[in-house]
Chain A
Amino acid sequence: MGGCPYLVAFKGKTVVLDACAVANGRCYASCPVLPCDASALTALVFGESRPETSIGIYHSVLASKATDARTSSMGQGGGTVTAIVAHSLKQGLVDSAILTSASADAAFPGGIVVEDVEQAYACAGSKYVGAHSLAALRKALDMGKQSIAVVGLPCQVLSVRKMMLSDVKQEDIRRRIKLVVGLFCNWAFSAREFTAFLAERFPDAAIRRIHIPPPPANCLEVETPQGIIAISLEEVRRFIQNACGQCPDMTSELADLSIGMYEGKPGWNTLVVRSDLGQRIINEMVASGVLETEIFPEANLAHLEFASRRKKERAPQPQS
């Protein structure tokens, strides 16, 4: 989207300003909703063909948490995502990372190019809203970044992989995007409507953090100076983005590493190690003591697969 005069990001929405006449432009090539060559994408990320499961292709599923107390306390769950980004930056695996910053706009989260660990820490924590994070990828490419990490939702991960495949502007994107970290996502709120709702519900309170605890809580926790206030998820479901209903991917199946919450084990994450690169990074992190992993119980895996299948079943079936 970056630089396009027809599609612009504004106050948490993607807005079509005019009708573009380019038949197969960059937006078309990278749109996660439009059909794509799935086998080409799989080959791009995983090389040789591997058996696919209901949570995609992977080497292993683990429980994980950052060993550093600061990291694990700042992030969501066990702070695994923040730890991976920090490790990659520190080790020089990447020169920058595309993250979602809560303060990119006065009211709406947005993409940001981070170049050091402190900047990455500032982005820690789930946002629960759709954000124009990948606009920052355009910025990083224009800045000349050569090894970029991208952290995104499943739709954003798919979009990045499609960009790598098409490389419409021939910017050597396939080489320059080094690492793709995906997040688990069932749906996200529309930023504009959800922000307006929060502003109306908490007119005087400074909201510190928002958290959706794993089932069976079925609520949204809003942390304010006055304490944590729970709002039923049923009350806020109306703010879920329409496009989320189109998405079959809960676990970012095309990421190198996918991370989500660990239901029933607070302070830990579920980590899906997918690509060889992802495996290498996790091995390095465990070896250097920045990440702690445990076996992910079969029952939890079965539940994760069940939830992932449900999302696939809810989404419209692909046309071809």
Chain B
Amino acid sequence: MSLLSLDAPGKEVLLMGNEAMARGAIEAGVRVAAAYPGNPSSEIIGSLAEVAQTLDMYVEWSVNEKVALEVAAAAAASGLNALVAMKQNGLNVAADFLLNLNLTGILGGLVLVVCDDPSGISSTNEQDTRIYAKLADLPLFEPGTFHEAKDMIKEAFQVSRRLGTVCMLRSVTRISHARGNVTLGAIPKDKIKPYFDPHVRLMALPGAPSHIVVHQRLKQAQEIFESSSFNAYDGPEKPELLVITCGAGYLFSQEAISILGLGDRVGLLKIGTTWPLPERMILSILANASRVLFVEEVDPVLENNVKALYADNNSRLPRIEFLGKKSGHVPDVGELSPGLVIQVLSGIMEAPWGRGNDERSRLAADTLQRFAPQRSLAFCAGCPHRASFWAIKNALALDGRNGILFGDIGCYSLAVLPTGFSQSKTLHAMGSGMGMASGFGVLDRLGSDQPSLAVCGDSTFYHAVIPALINGVHHSSNFLLIVLDNSATAMTGFQPHPGSPVNAAGLPAKPLLIEDICQSLGVKTVIHDPFDVSGTSLILWELLQEKGPRVLILRQQCALVRGKKEGKRFTVSVNPDRCLGEQCGCSRLCTRVFRCPGLRWNASAGKAEIDEAICTGCGVCADICPAGAIQKEKQSS
């Protein structure tokens, strides 16, 4: 049985932060949950989907984040508790609806979880979504521990129902993806029947009076937060330094103070409800402070809000020196870490740090540099995207008109890097590749002669490409859309999408085929296997010679899915007699240019070889080798 559906109040279990949030939603009696997958948020809905049938919930992977929020809002409008989760970029997609939903309010409970990705570890951007809470006048929670993540979701649902507003909960990678102890609460047994009262109208018109109501709700939220247990101070009555923190910064700061032995000199104020601020509570702590350090990821949101609060009340407060991102003491980009907070605190408090041995640090860094292999981000061994971009590279070179490939979001975003032969020239938001290709494809009317190409994945196609495709078709733009259909939302964990025959709960669902959609728009649509690299190059070249909207679907299963289902298709080997190495004249095409991780260069032998542990047996490298030295033999099934 999944820990998420375990009905054992008081039991302490180890949960990932995202699982803890899912469990919090279950303990709050959530009935509907929706999301579009995106790291670091994906496990919230993923784990709820696993227990959806057991707990009589409806859980879906929606086509995009805006629709996910709309699905959840419909449930909330029907009196239910609904959860929606997304990554930071997703909130941009959902923002249009959110900035109206805030004004209309809701009837049930609706919690919007946004998982930010400081440093953009699995994102194209770094973005602090807390600004949205302020923009939309929504109560905002920020968990600092895993147990708190669970309990905050419950509290957020209570505030949401009580005030009739969406509540936001902002997590970050080190809360969402780390694990910690969580004490389980009870799972409610009562099930509300969804009912949308036809006398109710959820509309923001007229806007200004609605806005007044929203501000009143925010005032009420502030009152609730003044006594919230999520906001707490720990430390001396009059600390030399007051650290004000939230989110992952809380545990980092706690650890830093402990390691540096500063417990009797430094106070720690953790704010769990970061908007609206619990003003009276904070002012009471500031009354005993002379220096304040803010520790938060990513932007100085808490820092600016507390400073504004101080400015409003400075006549009643002592003179305080504020340190943080603005003063340059804390980096204003990227993730924080315990080590980084230790460094900051050690410097400010002039507290020696045992590990601060510069010579040892330098030696360690040198050693790492010497022995760590030189690697950049790369497609997996046997990834069909590598074959696709090889074919695209060749087709564009054969065409010779400097065609531009507009990139998009997914594993194939890596095509801006050498692993995708640096073929994608742009990388922005989901669907933006097709949108830009639509625009570039009309510039021939102004004298451009460069072909316009876009690339997208299957899941991205449904998410945001379809409107851009329709735009291009309607305006007779000249473009070639290449859909890399690997039959999975591979980058976020193989969640189903509208092209899948199953839904989030694993139940049968109607698959909507990409080719059917394209053909229904009257677009010439060709389907091909990218593992036939030379054939794919020629098809691409031929499509590039045509005008108007064209779609090429390069369909081949993700190497990870294929490996699980089918094992190796080919046994691949290098014939050492035929591989001439540096004498070949191929200039190590396989390991220098194609660079599948399943191939390696044996410097002592002066020949290429297959890494059996990594090779997935796609056989594409055998077609790349000009000397026929790489050989593939069909695996007997």
Contact = CB atoms under 8 A, between A and B. Distances in A.
A37 interface: no
Contact of A18 (B398, B585, B593): B593
B398 A10 contact: yes
A16 B588 CA distance: 16
A34 interface: no
Given A21-B587, A25-B585, A16 B397 contact: yes
A22 B400 contact: no
Given A4-B585, A5-B626, A6-B587, A17 B393 contact: yes
A25 B583 CA distance: 10
Given A3-B626, A4-B626, A5-B626, A20 B587 contact: yes
A309 interface: no
A13 interface: yes
B557 interface: no
Interface string A45-82: 00000000000000000000000000000000000000
Nearest to A18: B593
Interface residues of B, number: 15
A3 B587 CA distance: 12
A16 B587 CA distance: 14
A15 B398 contact: yes
Contacts, number: 37
Interface in A24-55: 25-26
Contacts of A22: 585, 587
A289 B585 CA distance: 47
Nearest to A3: B626
A10 B538 CA distance: 10
B471 interface: no
A10 B544 CA distance: 15
Contact of B400 (A15, A18, A20, A25): A15
B589 A5 contact: yes
Nearest to B589: A5
B634 interface: no
B589 A18 contact: yes
Q: Is the interface of A mostly helix, strand, loop or mixed?
A: loop
Interface in A258-293: none
Interface string A144-162: 0000000000000000000
A211 interface: no
Contacts of B589: 5-6, 18
A176 interface: no
B394 interface: yes
A16 B585 CA distance: 15
A255 B469 CA distance: 57
B586 interface: yes
A139 interface: no
A26 B585 CA distance: 8
A22 B583 CA distance: 10
Nearest to A168: B585
Nearest to B585: A25
Scoring B393, B400, B588, B592 by chain A CB atoms within 10 A of each residue's CB, the highest score goes to: B400
Given A5-B626, A21-B592, A11 B398 contact: yes
Interface string B572-610: 000000000000011111001100000000000000000
Interface in B382-417: 393-394, 397-398, 400
A17 B394 contact: yes
B540 to A, nearest CB: 13
- Pairs A-B, 6 closest by C-beta atoms: A5-B626, A20-B587, A21-B587, A10-B398, A22-B587, A18-B593
A5 B626 CA distance: 6
Contacts of A192: 400
Given A3-B626, A5-B626, A17 B397 contact: yes
A5 B398 contact: no
A213 B601 CA distance: 57
Contacts of B592: 21
A295 to B, nearest CB: 47
Contacts of A26: 585
19 contacts: A3-B585, A4-B626, A5-B586, A5-B624, A5-B626, A8-B398, A10-B398, A11-B398, A13-B398, A13-B400, A15-B398, A16-B397, A17-B393, A17-B394, A17-B398, A18-B393, A20-B587, A25-B587, A26-B585
